[in-house]
Each structure stands twice: as structure tokens, then as C-alpha cells.
Structure 1
């Protein structure tokens, strides 16, 4: 750590010296259950996120760290808890869910004063495991570890990962696999489904303490206001809409947008069968367990709003004692979503096209481009990255991106409209615009075939590709000499890797 970084973050400390702040664990036991992790035999550290550890103020050399991050030893002076919740899964109400394989093992204050929670995923069964083993497998753990940090580097709100520990312990999924434990980090892991749980159980008296905890810790500007619940829900809806606008504009599909997988803070939560699109398809479904395509790419914005409607229904008892008035408040908050999403998405699409202003007709320009990408099954990430090569001082064909298109003539017509739009706002400094566009159009994303290659090596005991991808994806917008193959479209035989809920 450089001296100026040490001044900013403070010197790393052994775990027992880190300031604990057990606000969530301090809530009533109706919200969670104390449960110890199940020891993980023969743990092997696949990767440790040293940069995040420094941000948290954790001494990476602490001898107790590996045992704690594998679930073999408790965090000093903290009793781990698993949370109860419910949720709508693929649109169907499921009344009893919960942290079936996750445990919050600590709540600490970072050197900058921010409170964060650390959670082990895959640390064994809890009272909410519903007969499952409570373990995670190395395959899915690598995917979550890499993607959460990749999303963070893209600037998309997300939970993060501190460590990935593997074990030869066998775990039965669709096939026999091996176990792993990920340590996830977030300001909070509270989900929509935690509020749904108490509402549908007829326990509205449990809503306020949980809501007040979230507001006090994460929305302190609302504390004490008589209308704090309505104002808080407005912010939750806005954050959710803005998050999904970010997903859409990087071609990210979550795969399991159940309400129990939606963060009350607007974070990307629970990486299962996710995927960044290679060939762009409006109706792309990344989860082959999603037989009806409920969570396809083009459905994500509407599903986000539907999930918000379930949260708003659950919170209605806190909004007013008058049912009609509460319903009116819910409707007004619900209707915020569409406008917030549209503004956020259009602004991001405009940024990706290098447009300084948002004007009438820009929605149509974006839609026409996406239609071209869809019809040609063009590579989403590469196509947007190469658009920065379009010049306004020439009408020559857009070399590079044109080759990604199945209908070059139709694309040429679109480029003519695009150039006219750029010139209309006197946005003719091509070099400056290219720099701006390359800051919002990543060159590198976690493509499925890249993750799969890292998984296959790690299963053979070679963790080097995980480390390579962590370095690469930590700088997604930068040209990285010698790494161009990671930006290429997948080879034909790897274009259709299928990811399921067991991921």
C-alpha cells in the first residue's frame, strides 16, 4: 500500500482490532437465527481480494483469516446469523425461504466510517436450508466471485467478494462437484423478500423495526420524518430502476430476478445463472431453467417494476392507517419507476453513443441500432466499443463495427443518421468523443466462456486464470496490450454455454 493510500484507509488491522458494529444482528431474533458455520475440510484459497481487504482495513496477513473465511473459526466476538425471508420465485409466491447457505459472520466499520456486512456463502446448512446441504460449489462460486468484482469495476452497484476458498469435499448437484465458500461484502444484505415475509404472515408489527434499521443505517437523512417510509420507498424504487438501466446498457442478464434476490439498497445481488450477452438478442434468456423466459433481457425492466410492486404491497401497512390513502401512496411510488428507468436508460444509451445531450429522436436512434444488432446477432460488447471509431469528418464506412453487422447496408444508413445527430450538437471532436465513449463502453466483460475456462483450470488445481480475470476485469474500459483475445467473441463451439439455477 502506498503512503497516501495508508493515510486514506488507515493501517490494516488484525480481525480482533477491527471495530464491530452489530446493528443487524442486534435486531430481534424474529429476523434471523444464530447458527455456526459447518467446518470446511482442507480449505484452499483460490483467490483473496487484497484490494478490497485494504479498503476494509483488514490485515491480509492475519493468521486467523483463512480459517474464518472458510467457516472453520468464528469472527472474534460475533455470533453468525442467517436471515429469514420469503419471495416471489418466477412469479409464484413461496412463503418460507431464507439464508439456506449464507451466514452473516461480521458487521464492521471500514476506516472511512462506512458500515459493511461480511457473509459466507456455502458455509453449511441453516434452519432455512429446506433440506439442502447449505454448500456452494466451486463452479458457481468462481462465477459469483469474478462477476461481482467485474460489476464493481464497471461502476454498477453490487455486492462484492473478499475471498474464495475451495475444498475437495464432494457436493451433489446435477453432477458430483466440489465445495467452495465465498465471502461476500455489502453495506446490507436485506432483501425485498424480508418485508414480504412478515406482511404475508400477518405480522405487520415486524415491518417497522426492520425498515427503521435500514433507514437509520443507509438513509439517515430520512430519520425522524413522519413520511420517512414513503420517502424511503421512493428511493428504493428509484435505485432499482437505475440499477436495471445499468444492466440493460451493458447487456447483463441476471437470470433469477425473484423478489428474494432483490436488494433493498439497489445492489446486484445473488449471482446465479447470470450472463453478459455475446450475440445480442432482445429476448435472450440466460437461465436454461427459465422455461417460460420470464427473466429474459427485454423483460428485465418490467420485472424490476413488478418486484417493486410486491415490496410496496408489503409495506402498505406502514404508509397510512387509511387503506385508500395507503393505496394512493403505493400507486404514486409505483409510477415513479417507469419515468426513472426511462431517464436513466436513455442517458446511458446516449453516453454509449457519445452524445452530450439527450434530444427528441434519440430513443429511436438507439432502438434502430439495437434492432440491427438483434437481426444480425451481433456481438453486443464489441459493437458498442467499436462505435467510437465512427468519424464525423468523413462519410467513409465505419470500419470495424461494420464487420459485426449482418446487414452492412442497413448499418451504413444508420451511421448516416448517427453522424447527422453528432453534428447537430456540434459534437465533431472525434478524438475527445472516442475517449468518452471508451469510458462507458467496456472492452472486457465476464463472458461465459472465459468464466468456464477459469472454472475448468481451478477444478484441476490451477487458480491462475481466476487471478488473470480478476486483474483484467478490474480495468474493463482500458486497452490492455496482450489481452485482446479476452475481448474477442467466443468460438462457435462455446457460443451456447447453458447456465442453470444450480449455477
Structure 2
């Protein structure tokens, strides 16, 4: 039964909608309407994303748009639904999960799915309330757009709205809704769900949908004797490897890399307890709930491979041969290190590969780790040092000056064949001045809790173009205050 509302109650955003995921049928989801929140208000808006969607940005300033993106008014052409999936959480099989607080409105004719996160109870909410809170919604909104600004594959965020309705977590907080956008929200866990329940017909239908929509080359490949499902697994593995290399190079910690939080398109998805590193500590754990350190920064590449192995197990009924499935994962082991080294060479301003680059990269990371040097500031200062031929601001970051000077000498010799202006341009375009540090997010959240949203807007503006100087905002690019280390980010949201 369709959950479409009466035509008189619909808001027409001027977007055309296509069937998309809903064409798979009711085995994959439950149709339902979002649950309203009282007296909503705007918290943040991405007018750039609105333009990309073909949405008139005036909707992000109107009362009707506010109601629609809070879930209070249905949108013409949409058939809201919550999808079912399963997954491994912290390495343990968790069984059936699903969109417990996310409701997919539909897919635009331009191929982008639009989803409301925090829009109320669904059949998959389990013991939760289906809501999101203001603090986590602001973090997801800003970080989604920050990652896009960094050029890292990610889900996007169109807007966030708030309400004074109370939500209980560790304490009472206020509710919010994030409007998320992505080509697809399909996760590894969608495949695990149908495989675990031995529903091979649905598993095949899902895989065919993903291949035909997002990986059509898998249909015509000669890889694995033309096995399209093995080719899909390989393609997902390589996208995931590339994503993880980008995370590691920029210093991003995800915090909850469960299989239900892994995108089949290799996107950064589900911004819960994440963090950009301050001081460089390879063993840093950003999730206060992760007491065993499963998702520590230096564990992320291996965890991603473990998750891909779970995906391989789920796809095995379609691939048909365990050895072929394992072979489809093999390229992860080369794509990740090769991509990581390429990203690090770019951060160093190097145009091509040479013997000794790995040692040069490992050497500087070891120096940074020894003194927990601020990761973002180091790379930006190094970029500026190459541009201005003045290494002193970089040297000032180290107590072990002799160790840094030895590395700098080796680096300077390696870079000698590249004109300084060329190297600096490459570096300034890959080493951001601004990242979403925890304390910056916290300051914006605290102001928003007092109905002051200027901090959210400022952060968004800086992080949309993080490589630019943004004169007058150097305080957003400085060292974190001492209290930043006391911020605890957990799985609650």
C-alpha cells in the first residue's frame, strides 16, 4: 500500500523524482511517513548543494521548505521509506538493523537520493526513538560538506533543522533533522541481511540493481571469467581502498566502521563519533565508546579490509566460488598503499614517484608521532615554507630539531628537481588550512543551542573551500585549546 499523502497537502519543490531504490520492492523496505516535530527552525543550509540538485535555494529560507525538510509536510513525487539491512557492529554479528531514524524520500531525476535523518520511528528503530539530536546533526551537516570540500567521497548534507522537542540521550537534548544526499545509501549490511537469511533471490536483485546503476562495467568485464558479481566485489574493494587512503592522508578518523556504516559506493557515510586529528597519534581513538580501540586511526585500513571480507561472504552465493571471492579482494592490498603514497607525495609537492619515497613518508610520520605534532598545521606550514623558502615556522613545531633537520635535508634533496612554485601550488591545494576540529564543532554547537547559528554558517563557509586563506579567520586554523582534549564523542546521537 502506498503511503502517499493527499495531493492538497504536498509541497512541490520543483524537483523531478525517479523510482530508484523503491523499484526493488517491499522486501527491501517499509513505506512510511516522517513524524512531525513541533515548531522547527533553520540551523544550517548548503546553498551550493541546493544548486547542484536543481533546487531553488529560496526553499532553504521558506516556511514550506522548513516544514518539508523537517518531515512535517510531505513532498510531491516522493514515496518515503526506511530500508532494512543487517551488519557486524564492533566485529560482532548484530543481526537485523535497518534505517532506524533515516527515511529515504526518494531519488531525484538527477540520480541523487534524498534522506531525512532524525525523522522519527521506523520498524527498524529497535529500542531507540528514531530521532537525532542537535549536536550530532550539526556535526554531520558540517562534516559532510567539509569532506566534499576536501575532495573526499562522501554523502552530502543539504540542510539541518532543529526543534525544541526533547530527546533523551545521556541527558535531555533537543531534536534535529539532517537532510542527507547521496547517489545511493546502500551499505555492505544490505547484502549481509539477505545473505544471512538465505534469501538469494533478493540478494541477486540487490546486486543486479547496484551493478546496473553504479558499476555497469562489471557486466562486460573479462575479469574472473566474466563473473559480474566478483567484478562488483573487486570494484567496491578498490573504491574502499581509495577512500581509506584519503582518510589516512588527511588525518580523518571515522570512529564506527561497522559493516552497516560502509557504503557500497566507497563514500564516507554515517558521521557519528568522527574526528580530524589534532596532534598526530597513529593509535588515536576518537570514539569514547570504543574501549578496545577497534577503530583507532591506524586500524582503519585493516578494519575496512575485514568489512570487505564480510561483504565477500555475503556475495558468495552469487559469486559461486570462494577462491574467486578471495581473489576479488586481493587488489585492496595494492590499491590502498599505492593510493596512500600517491596522496602523501602530493602533500609533499612531488609530481612523480621515486625510490626512497616510502622511507621519506614514513620518516616524517614517525617524527610527527614522536612529538604528537599538530597534523594539519604541520602540513600547511610545510606548504607555506616551500612557497616562501622559510622552514623556521615548521622547525618550531619540533623539539627534536636535529631529527627534523635531517628529514628536511632529505626532503629538500628529493624535491630539488621540482620548481618551488610548482611544488608549493600542489601542496597548498592538498594540505588544507581548515578542517573540522572537535573544538570548532563544539563551539558552533554551543552557540546553536542558544539559537545563534552564525558559527555553523561560518564553519560551513570556511570548510566548503578549506584550501583558501580566508583572511580574517586564522583563529579557525590555529592550535586547539587545551580543553579540546576533554571533548568526548560517543555512539550516542
- The TM-score normalised by the length of structure 1 is 0.92
Match of 1:329 in 2: 324
Deviation at 1:121, TM superposition (A): 0.3
Match of 1:286 in 2: 286
1:462-482: per-residue Cα shift (whole Å, max 9, x none)? Answer: 001000001111110011110
Give the distance between the partners of 1:43 and 1:390, measured in 2 at CA.
Answer: 48
The alpha-carbon distance between structure 1 residues 53 and 16, as it changes in their structure 2 partners (threshold 3 A), is closer
Alignment of 1:88-487 (within 5 A): 88-110=88-110, 115-223=111-219, 226-320=226-320, 326-391=321-386, 398-423=391-416, 426-427=417-418, 429-487=419-477
1:266-304: per-residue Cα shift (whole Å, max 9, x none)? Answer: 000000000000011010100010000000010001011
Residue 32 of structure 2 corresponds to residue 35 of structure 1? yes
Say if 1:392 and 1:419, in contact at 8 Å, map to a contact too.
no
Unaligned 5+ runs, structure 2: 1-10
Give the distance between the partners of 1:169 and 1:314, measured in 2 at CA.
Answer: 40
Give the distance between the partners of 2:154 and 2:200, measured in 1 at CA.
Answer: 29
SS in 1 for 2:129: coil
Give me the CA root mean square deviation: 1.5
The alpha-carbon distance between structure 1 residues 224 and 74, as it changes in their structure 2 partners (threshold 3 A), is farther
Say if 1:378 and 1:404, in contact at 8 Å, map to a contact too.
yes
Deviation at 1:223, TM superposition (A): 4.1
Say if 2:368 and 2:375, in contact at 8 Å, map to a contact too.
yes
Deviation at 1:390, TM superposition (A): 4.2
1:161-187: per-residue Cα shift (whole Å, max 9, x none)? Answer: 011000000000011100000000000
1:195-238: per-residue Cα shift (whole Å, max 9, x none)? Answer: 00111112122111111111121123334775221222211100
SS in 2 for 1:171: strand
Deviation at 1:392, TM superposition (A): 11
The alpha-carbon distance between structure 1 residues 391 and 101, as it changes in their structure 2 partners (threshold 3 A), is closer
Residue 50 of structure 2 corresponds to residue 60 of structure 1? no
1:141-168: per-residue Cα shift (whole Å, max 9, x none)? Answer: 0000000000000000000001100000
Give the distance between the partners of 1:16 and 1:307, measured in 2 at CA.
Answer: 38
Unaligned 5+ runs, structure 1: 1-13, 321-325
1:371-420: per-residue Cα shift (whole Å, max 9, x none)? Answer: 111111100000011112445997xx721111112311110111111111
Give the distance between the partners of 1:494 and 1:256, measured in 2 at CA.
Answer: 21
1:94-150: per-residue Cα shift (whole Å, max 9, x none)? Answer: 11110000000121123xxxx010000000010000021100000000000000000
Deviation at 1:48, TM superposition (A): 1.8
SS in 2 for 1:26: helix
1:413-453: per-residue Cα shift (whole Å, max 9, x none)? Answer: 11111111112xx12x1122111100000010000000000
Say if 1:160 and 1:184, in contact at 8 Å, map to a contact too.
yes
SS in 2 for 1:387: helix
Deviation at 1:496, TM superposition (A): 3.3
Aligned pair partner of 1:490 in 480, 487, 491: 480
Match of 2:5 in 1: none
